[in-house]
């Protein structure tokens, strides 16, 4: 056993907490000392905490608090011209490189391995076309 006075004080403090906690559950047989009575009050207060629900308009209040104060109009003003510029850029890039792309595709199809390219494209198209038919058939069956 330790002879440190702090250990004895901590042990006495813990014992007072336990006496107060137990006294809150059932009346004690002997009167409590001052420290235990303090812990009895704390234990009783903790057992009788009000269990309340959030207010009825809690979600609406939080939503109003996090809503932006003023709408930002810059994105509404800037988005259409940027989308138009993107469309023009893609069209110009595609038109400028259309001949090399077409030649590369034509070479891939007409050479020896071209039939595999066509076969894989047909498989992809078949899968794409069959999926809606299967969904329709399953809906009709079920």
3-state per-residue secondary structure call for 13-76? HHHHHHHHHHHHHCCCCCCCCHHHHHHHHHHHHHHCCCCCCCCCCHHHHHHHHHCCCCCCCHHH
Single pTM value for the model: 0.32
pLDDT along the chain (142 residues), means of 10: 66 87 83 86 83 84 77 78 94 86 76 74 90 87 78
């Amino acid at each position: 056993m330790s002879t440190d006075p702090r250990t004895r004080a901590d042990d006495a403090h813990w014992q007072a907490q336990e006496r107060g906690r137990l006294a809150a559950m059932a009346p004690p047989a002997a009167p409590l000392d001052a420290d235990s009575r303090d812990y009895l009050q704390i234990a009783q207060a903790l057992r009788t905490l009000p269990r309340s629900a959030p207010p009825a308009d809690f979600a609406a209040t939080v939503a109003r608090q996090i809503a932006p104060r003023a709408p930002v109009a810059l994105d509404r003003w800037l988005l259409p011209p940027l989308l138009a510029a993107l469309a023009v850029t893609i069209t110009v890039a595609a038109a400028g490189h259309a001949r090399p792309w077409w030649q590369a595709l034509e070479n891939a199809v007409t050479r020896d391995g071209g039939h595999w390219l066509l076969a894989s494209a047909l498989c992809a198209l078949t899968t794409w076309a069959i999926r809606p038919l299967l969904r329709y058939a399953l809906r009709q069956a079920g």
